[in-house]
Amino acid sequence: MTSVTEPRVVATVVIPTIGRAETLRTVLRAFCAQTLARDTYEVIVSVDGPAEGVRSVIDEIRPPYRHRVIHGPRRGRASACNAGLDVASGELIVLLDDDMEPVPGFLDAHIEAHKERTKRAVVGAVPVRKMPDDFPVAEYVAAKFARHLEALAAPDHRWTLRDFYTGNFSIARELFEDVGHFDESFGLYGNEDLELFWRLRRASVAVTFCGAALAWQRYTKSLETFARDNWEKGRTAVQLAGKFPEALPELKLSSYRAGSLPMRLARSTSIAVGRACPWFSAAVVATARLFERGGLPGRQKMYELVANYLYWMGAFAALEQNRATGCGPQAIP
C-alpha cells in the first residue's frame, strides 16, 4: 500500500487580528491568488479576543489553502502573534496585519528574499491605498508611509530602530525561535516590533527591505482611534526605553528637547496644561475633528500636531506611573 506524503509547509502566514471582518475578508481572499502552490503554505488567523466573526468569514470564503483560526483573551498584538507562532509549522514565518492585501507574488517574493543568506529578516512594502469611504486621516497616514517606504528602498539606506515594522515581515522559524518571539508585556499599541528589532540587531540578524513583497494597506481608523494609538505609542516607548535604555537615542523620546525655542515652549506648555486638566486632550481631539469636518486647509499638519501631542501625553503618563511604582524610567533624560 502506497502512502501519500503531504508537501512540506514552506511558509506559515500569521495574521494577528481583533476580528475585523471587512479587512480580514480582503486579506484571506488575496491568499487564494498567490503564485506559490497552495499546498505549500498555511495561513493562521490569530484572534485577540472572540473568534465568532472570523469563523463566519472563513465559512464564507472557504479558503483552498491550509488555514486555521485560533483565539485567546484580549491581551494585545504581541500575544496574538505569539499564539500563532506557537502552532506554525512552516520553514518561513510571515507576519501580516489584518488590514493588508498581498499581491499574487507576495509569498514567492518573501521566500526569494531569504535565499541569499540564512540569518536574515525581511520587511515588505506596505503602501496605504486610500478608499473613498475611508476617514480623512488615512490621507495623512498614506503620505507618511509613502515617504517611509521611499527611504527604505534607497540603495544606501541604513536601518535604524524606528524604520522597522512587522506588519509585513518574514524570518526563518528556527531563527525566530532562537531570537525569541514578541514580548507580551507590550499589551498596548505600538513598539512591540521595535523591541523585537533591538533583539534582532543584538543577534546580528540582517534586516532588509523587499519592495516586491508588497501588501497594500487599508487604513480604516478614525481620528479618535488614531489619537489613542499615538497616546499608547508614547506609553510603550517609555516601556521600551526601560527595557533597553541604550535604545533611547533612537527613540522619539530622545527628541523632547529638540527643536526651536518657540516649538519647545509650545510643547512643554501644552503638555503641562494637559497633565493639569484631564479634559484637555479630549478637547484637542474634538477641535481637530471639527477642523477635519470643515475640510479646512492644513489638515495634514493638524494630524501631525495631534499625533505628536498625544504621543507625549502618553509618554508622560507612563513616566508618572513609573514614579508612583518606583519602576522604570521616571523622567526623559
So where are the chain's domains? 11-217, 223-325
234 pLDDT more than 80: yes
**pLDDT confidence band for 212 (50 / 70 / 90):** very high
Q: Is 36 left (phi over 0), alpha (psi -120 to 50) or beta?
A: beta
**Mean pLDDT to the nearest integer, 245-272:** 92
- Beta-carbon contacts of 34 under 8 Å, excluding residues fewer than 6 positions away, are 41, 65, 102, 104, 105, 106, 107, 108
> pTM, whole model, 2 decimals?
0.93
- Beta-carbon contacts of 292 under 8 Å, excluding residues fewer than 6 positions away, are 136, 137, 223, 299, 302
In tens, the pLDDT along 141-189 reads 999 999 999 999 999 999 999 999 999 999 999 999 999 999 999 999 9
Nearest 10 degrees: Cα torsion 77, 135, 13, 95: -50
pLDDT at 5: 65
241 pLDDT more than 80: yes
In tens, the pLDDT along 280-291 reads 999 999 999 988
Instruction: Give me the CATH topology for the region 11-217.
Output: Spore Coat Polysaccharide Biosynthesis Protein SpsA; Chain A (3.90.550)
Positive or negative, the Cα torsion across 326, 329, 331, 333?
positive
Please tell me the distance from the alpha carbon of residue 208 to that of residue 39, in angstroms, as a whole number: 27
pLDDT at 146: 96
In tens, the pLDDT along 59-107 reads 999 999 999 999 888 899 999 999 999 999 999 999 999 999 999 999 9
Q: Could you tell me whether strands 11-17 and 41-48 are parallel, antiparallel, or unpaired per DSSP bridges?
A: parallel
H, E, C per residue of 114-155? CCCCCCEEEEECCCECCCCCCCCHHHHHHHHHHHHHHHHHCC
Average pLDDT of every residue of the chain: 93
Whether the CB-CB separation of 94 and 173 falls below 8 Å is answered with no
Closest CA to 102 of 39, 168, 56: 168
Quote the percentage of the chain above a pLDDT of 70.
98
**Mean pLDDT to the nearest integer, 246-275:** 92
Closest CA to 191 of 245, 228, 229: 229
pLDDT at 259: 86
